Amino acid sequence: MVALCRQKGLIAYQMDMEKLVFDNDTFDGIWAYVSLVHMQKNKIGNVLKKISELLKKKELELLRSQFFVIVHFTRVEAGSGSIYLNFLCVKK
């Protein structure tokens, strides 16, 4: 997947979620859709803390794992060609 992104001219990284090497306040949003399901439960807290530190505004994280249930989903196409996916999740 990383190679495909790079072929399209996108910047893409592959790294261990427990050893993220970005500076704090780097990203506007983080998509961790199914990656957390592969982590040991006792390590998720540290990863979530680091993900939160990477966000410019400590407001948005999209998480999906066996620990959350999607109760609402919408797909909004903006006039600029952007697509926004909105999920409302609750903890299982």
Sorting pLDDT into bands at 50, 70 and 90, what band is 83?
Answer: low
Place of tokens 């600029």: 80
- Residues 44, 37 contacting (CB under 8 angstroms): no
Separation between Cα atoms, residue 90 and residue 26, nearest integer Å: 27
Least confident among 38-47, 61-70, 78-87: 61-70
Query: What pLDDT, in 10s, does the model give residues 17-64?
Result: 899 999 999 887 777 766 777 778 788 888 888 888 888 876 555 555
This prediction's pTM: 0.57
What per-residue confidence (pLDDT) applies to 57? 75
CA dist 83 → 16, 76, 80 (Å): 28, 6, 9
